[in-house]
Amino acid sequence: MVNTELGVIREPLRAPFGFKGGTLSELWQTAVRLTLDSGASGMGVGVQSVLWSDPVTFCACDEAGGNERMLAVTRRALELLQGQAFTDPPGMTAGLVPELLAFARRLLGRADVPQTFVLNALVPVDFALWQLWNAKRGNGTFDALCASFCPELTNREKELGSIPLITYHTPEDELHALLEDGAFLLKVKIGSDPEKNGDPEAMLAWDIGRLRTVHTAAAGFTTPYTECGRPVYYLDANGRYPDREFLLRFLDAADKMDALERIVLLEEPFAGDRPEPVHGLPVRVAGDESAHSAQDVARLTREYGYSAIACKPIAKTLSVTLEMVRAAQKSGAACFCADLTVPPALLDWNMSLAARLSRVPGLRVGVVESNGPQNYTDWRRLDAMCAAPGAAWRTPQNGVYRLDGGFYGESGIFAPLPAYADTLRPV
């Protein structure tokens, strides 16, 4: 039978973290421990992001209030698991989602609470279930996990490009420093609300100006890691564009400044609950908030023309992500590993998945988003909380991480996280 514990750490950010029309000042790190009567246990950690998963709730509550509500969903998940027999992580996680979605909608008083809110709350629970799966098997590796649950993951990268995140508030000197350090795929947040009044015209003007700033900064830089030999852009709109016609105005502006051919990914241009067809657009469009399952991936790729899927094990759970990867492989859509700002304990999971994904067209190397040290106020303390051998933050050389032996995280992926235990309390 499963016994459960829960803890939380509130981690302030070094500077405002702006995206999706809003701004974060802190991240709540949640920790979960699941223990069987046999003594086997698994601990998981997660990063809450109410703004990413449910901006309506983020705007309706203060920042802490939104996090408290998401934490309540995690607690409810553990209440549901208490006393259950352990089976397998994907099955147990999937079994929780319907009840948790109904709970979240009662809690928030809305029938339209998105599934991403629940999946984000489930991340530490799912992570702990995978650790428990490993504890029962003994000496598992990520390869063993893939062989059992996602055999399609056959790729093995020897290098992974680091995807730095350019938020609304990233200063130009930091952007230049990233390019000087070898960054070649810049994830740029668009969809700003500069006047804080929801004016789409003001958003469009700001986004065009931001792309021009990035494109100007990248002029003159070369790289061996892209097909065009220049730094390229991954634009994340987080569902902020109202319709296809409005998006075309942005892309036309990008074309006029000669930046269009540098856009290798445009993520989630429209709101997740109202995707529009993207057939014929001059960029590769990726699904994120609109994709919560294998069925969503099939719908987006077949009906709407999406040709890429953002894989987010620490935002939607590893269990759901593996199902989505399998569906994307069948549809021929590109997958890439992009995530929220992560603590070191989760960076290994991101890299282990990213090293097994096929490359995004236009890139000559696999990629992973890993935005930690530059955002946390005290990331060294968080780093010390991860006991995995070699799990410290790594600084990429020339914009890439070298993966010893072609893999990453094999020794540390299932390592215990003892320092988080100080935060845990029985549910």
Q: What is the CATH number of the domain that holds 393?
A: 3.20.20.120
- Same-domain pairing of 110 and 231: no
CATH at 122: 3.30.390.10
- Same-domain pairing of 162 and 99: no
Q: For 212, phi and psi rounded to 5 degrees?
A: -60, -40
- pLDDT confidence bin for 388, thresholds 50/70/90: very low
Question: Is 58's pLDDT higher than 90?
Answer: yes
- Same-domain pairing of 95 and 162: no
Number of domains observed in the structure of the chain: 2
pLDDT (0 to 100) of residue 392: 40
Which of helix, strand or coil describes residue 173? helix
- Same-domain pairing of 101 and 165: no
User: Which of 89, 102, 158, 81 is closest to 313 using CA atoms?
Assistant: 89
- Same-domain pairing of 111 and 233: no
pLDDT (0 to 100) of residue 408: 59
- Same-domain pairing of 88 and 175: no
pLDDT (0 to 100) of residue 137: 83
Of residues 29 and 17, more confidence is placed in 29
- Same-domain pairing of 116 and 236: no
- pLDDT confidence bin for 363, thresholds 50/70/90: very high
Residue 120 in tokens: 């984000």
Mean per-residue pLDDT over the chain, rounded: 89
- pLDDT confidence bin for 410, thresholds 50/70/90: low
- Same-domain pairing of 131 and 156: no
Give the domain range for residue 122. Answer: 2-140+419-426
Question: Is 351's pLDDT higher than 60?
Answer: yes
User: Which of 295, 237, 296, 244 is closest to 268 using CA atoms?
Assistant: 237
- Same-domain pairing of 270 and 200: yes
